[in-house]
Structure 1
Amino acid sequence: MSATLHSLLASHDADLPAIGAPDRDWLTYGGLRALGYQITDQLRAAGIGAHDRVAIVLPNGPEMATAFVTVAQAAITAPLNPAYRLDEYAFYLTDLKAKALVAQAGDDGPAVRAAQDCGVGILRLHADPSDPAGVFHLVPDAAADIPAAAGSPGPDSTALILHTSGTTSRPKIVPLSQSNLVASARNIQTSLALTSVDRCLNVMPLFHIHGLIAAVSASLASGASVWCAPGFDALKFFGWMKTATPTWYTAVPTMHQAILSRAARNADIIATTPLRFLRSSSASLPAQVMTALADTFNAPVIEAYGMTEATHQMTSNPLARGAQMPGSVGIAAGPVVRIAHEAENRIIDGTGEVVISGANVTSGYESNPDANAKNFFVADDTRWFRTGDQGAIDDAGYLHLTGRLKEIINRGGEKISPLEVDGILLDHPAVAQVVTFAIPHAKLGEDVAAAVVLVEGQRATDTDIRSFAAERLADFKVPRHVIILDEIPKGATGKMQRIGLAEKLGLATT
């Protein structure tokens, strides 16, 4: 069978539910396949061919899910964050060489204005709330002079383009092929033993690889269903859970922590809506949070390790109860995972840079030979991708991350893992969330700081927390500054970001 997104949906029973949403009827697999054909015809009529690039800017929800799934069967998708500003849209639309933008009917916001300024065609998405979840049609603002030729993407055709979330350098373009998407969806399906009886409650943003592949694509590969929430809201999560009756959900650690904070008052819903498992990815899940989630939901918590260049998943904790290892991102789950020397192009034992190879790994960054030369190398007759993460694989095959190489704190030559310090501080009974990060130091180069959110109703001072750390960490690892916040600044996908936090908190001066 051809390794394309179209083939992924082809064999499921037409009457099975595929896409759901609040107050909407279910869209079946038969309806989703029919929608795919309709959208292909509408794109071709609008002059969009199989190798043209279509940016998508839509709010989270069922139409965002089906727009990705259907447009990717006919062209190249490029979902963009709906929160971008005008200049950001102008950059991304130009950098992508987008031919069209899919936006909601009536949207005159910055994405549409940027598309108009850049000469990018606009395709208006029209949806009727009385239709099943995710049903829509596209109407171009201007009719095409010439319809595009018929034809479908093949396994090697690009299906999805995303940008890396660069901090100081220009974001890199990551093209992911149809076969990359299929391989990753199948890997996740296998890791989680997904079947047609499963249902994912999706709260992840669908401009991000985590939600697009783990929640949507892996579910559709399995003949399972996806219930699409309109974004993440801890106050509404348990109401959605009661309505959707999911068997699992996937989220980033900060979302899990917010859900935990409201779990006690929703114990009845947890009891009457049992989950088969919970999944966490896109940032390291503190061991304490994994244990608390497992105890609260009486279900295994599957921490996975993913990134855009791997079409999301690289490793995953095993599904069997008791096989999950708190503090580890699990075992290889699709690609081959090894440890490489951080400076030399060779595979090593011990601690080093995590590298991967497999069918889900991008073939390379677009139009960026320097980045490709830096991030890809050949050793042992295999082409490896450098993840930028430092870690080690134990004797049982579990990968333990020590942090992003660029986030490792270098205090006068002493290397400090922020994740290690996070784990210690989270043992303090008053600490709910923590992110350890580097701050400039005039003589040492860098020193250690930590931003902390306290447990509701608990009290602790920065001195209390530093004293707690000093009893458990070597002196050079103890944070010199502890900043207590109501909320830790997060990125667009809900992840806490270490790089740049010193600047945001006014600690960047030496």
Structure 2
Amino acid sequence: MRTTVTSLFSDHPADAPAFGAPERAWMSYGGLRALSAEVTASLQGMGIGKGDRVAIVLPNGPEMAAAFVTVAQVATTAPLNPAYREEEYEFYLSDLRAKALLVTADYDGPALSAAQKSGMAIIRLHVPEGAPAGYFTLSSDAMGSAAPDAVTADDIALILHTSGTTSRPKIVPLLHSNVAASAEHIRASLELTADDRCMNVMPLFHIHGLIAAVTASLAAGGSIWCAPGFDALRFFGWMKEARPTWYTAVPTMHQAILSRAKRNADIIADTKLRFLRSSSASLPAQVMVALNDTFGAPVVEGYGMTEAAHQMASNPIGAGKQKPGAVGVEAGPKVRIAHEIENRLMEGTGEVVISGPNVTPGYEGNPEANEKNFFMDQGQRWFRTGDQGAFDADGYLILTGRLKEIINRGGEKISPLEVDGVLLDHPDIAQVVTFAVPHPKLGEEVAAAVVLSEGSEASEQDIRAFAATRMADFKVPRKVIIMDEIPKGATGKMQRIGLAEKLGLVEKA
């Protein structure tokens, strides 16, 4: 049984490919294991060992993927978004109590300034010319000697922060056993084998890319071709070079890929995908159908979050078993419905809760959040996801939205996902995000930001009239904002909370 990150790639054939990248030779599993030994020696020679926290600020690519899995076998990894500003790095590095910062050899950005202020060790990553994808060496002015203690299943492999949309970000420690369990769950649900190749376009400072693309592939002995990020204009060129059997992305990425699919039909036909995967936000049913028709492959929607080391539920991989609008069946941990206020399981619609080996032991240094988000029932410890949903008659989980995002219009509760689904049936709408705007009497009112299909000229009145024929009046958006692009977060997800402020729809007192 695999219980550590290292165990995920410890026994695959030495000559099998592990990491690839544009115009780079492949790193084999034998090469990855050799790199692991080198990284262990380097870090311990810098005084970095078990329990020490290494913040990683690296661009997307094979070195970031390889750094995560090799550093994790020595110390605790803490990947951070390379786009943060200096003040943000100061907060995160302090909050993490990081001992060292890992950056590229030529990096001179805000993370370095923040780290130098606190006096932490700086580790530089060098990529020798002509090296295979993912290979690097490390250097640092730091000197020391760390005990060669091997990490165990109960040691922390990865630390991430929850997004701080409505409150201070919370620290989520994920044990080696959590990461390994989630990797195995995803491998099993997607039926991954050594013949599978994932083309990763997800950011690797995020749980989706790290676990679904990288560690699940390693668990199967498959290969990961690492793009330098997501770029719809370059996606099909990469696809032609990488020849993947699958890729995983967030819904907005899938929609951008669809917009360029027709002109790349030859590459799609020549690169037969076994399946496509979507996660991190609900995939509109219309987009799932369009992807299936375009690629001629199953579209597997997964349901994940940081506290679960990513995956909780997944649509089955078999032909015709994917259900548009559902995030699938439980796929690893136990998934149940709980009362939104009382600490008990229940039937019907309520808060989605999970229990299993991939779930974090709890937020670090935050007993109040742990008391609020974890509870015991039926002899098991359950984590509250903050999502509202219900199981259908076939056992598929249908999400109705984030509890914090449910719009409360004078006591009428409105699911933004439901409104999204109706508006996406409009022939001129390509993307939509429904959100709440403050209202002086009702508390909240419904609004929607939309991106029109290329060449379309629908008006706000057209869209509202369309919606009025398909849903109750109180659900129809009172305001429709037509945009060229909807603001997105760092991982490509559209942000409902705070969107009214971003778009200037909140009246100043």
TM-score range normalised by the length of the shorter chain: over 0.9
- 5+ residue gaps in structure 2? none
Q: Distance in 2 between matches of 1:166 and 1:378?
A: 26
Separation in 2, partners of 1:11, 1:103: 29
- Number of the residue aligned with 2:126: 126
| Whole-Å separation in 2 of the counterparts to 1:72 and 1:342 | 36
Which amino acid in 1 is paired with 2:379? D
CA drift of 1:480 comes to 0.2
Matches within 5 A, 1:436-451: 436-451=434-449
Q: What is the aligned partner in structure 2 of residue 352 from structure 1?
A: 350
> Residue 492 of structure 1 is aligned with which of 490, 493, 500?
490
Partner of residue 401 from structure 1, selected from 399, 402, 407: 399
Q: Residues 2 and 236 (structure 1 numbering): CA distance in 2 closer, same or farther, change over 3 Å?
A: closer
1:162 is aligned with what amino acid?
L
Query: What does 1:431-470 align with in structure 2 at a 5 Å threshold?
Result: 431-470=429-468
Measure the CA separation in 2 of the matches of 1:3 and 1:405.
33
| Structure 1 counterpart of 2:175, from 169, 174, 177 | 177
Residue pairs, 1:299-314, within 5 angstroms: 299-314=297-312
CA–CA distance in 2 between the matches of 1:88 and 1:230? 23
SS in structure 1 of the partner of residue 198 of structure 2: strand
Gaps of 5+ in 1: none
Residue 85 of structure 1, CA deviation: 0.1
Output the CA distance in 2 between the equivalents of 1:492 and 1:461.
Answer: 30
1:351/1:392 contact within 8 Å kept: yes
- What is the CA-CA distance between 1:2 and the residue it aligns to? 5.4
- The residue that corresponds to 2:263 in the other structure is 265
CA separation in 1, counterparts of 2:415 and 2:2?
43
Paired with 1:321 and 1:280, the residues of 2 have a C-alpha distance of 16
Question: After superposition, what is the alpha-carbon deviation per residue over 1:144-175, rounded to whole angstroms, capped at 9, x for unaligned?
Answer: 2x311111110000000000002131100000
Tell me by how many angstroms 1:70 deviates: 0.4
Who is 1:367 aligned against? 365
Q: Is 1:44 the equivalent of 2:62?
A: no
Would you say 1:32 and 2:32 are equivalent positions? yes
CA distance in 2, matches of 1:39, 1:465: 56
Counterpart of 1:160 in 2: which secondary structure?
strand
For 1:19, the equivalent position in structure 2 comes to 19
Cα deviation code 1:348-375 (max 9, x no counterpart): 1000000000000000000000000000
1:410 maps to which residue?
408
CA RMSD of aligned residues (A): 0.7
Shift of 1:50: 1.0
| SS in structure 2 of the partner of residue 494 of structure 1 | coil
Q: Give yes or no for the alignment of 1:57 onto 2:35.
A: no
Alignment partner of 1:329 out of 316, 324, 327? 327
Give % identity.
Answer: 72
Q: Is the 8 A contact 2:2 2:180 kept in 1?
A: no
Alignment of 1:97-496 (within 5 A): 97-140=97-140, 142-144=141-143, 146-496=144-494
Q: Render the CA deviation track for 1:197-250: whole Å, top value 9, x for unaligned.
A: 000000000000000000000000000000000000000000000000000000
Q: Deviations over 1:302-337 (max 9, x none)?
A: 000000000000000000010000000000000000
Secondary structure (helix, strand or coil) at the match of 1:234 reads: coil
- Any idea what the Cα deviations from partners look like across 1:14-44, whole Å, max 9, x if unmatched? 0000000001100000000110111011000
How many residue pairs were aligned?
508
**C-alpha separation in 1, matches of 2:166 and 2:186:** 32
Kindly indicate whether the alpha-carbon contact (under 8 Å) linking 2:183 and 2:212 is maintained by their aligned counterparts in 1: yes
Deviation for aligned residue 1:129: 3.9
8 Å Cα contact 1:2/1:155 also seen in 2: no
Query: What is aligned with 1:4?
Result: 4
CA distance in 2, matches of 1:474, 1:7: 54
In 1: Cα distance, 2:127 partner to 2:285 partner: 43
Aligned AA (2:409): R
Distance in 2 (alpha carbons) for counterparts of 1:340 and 1:389: 10
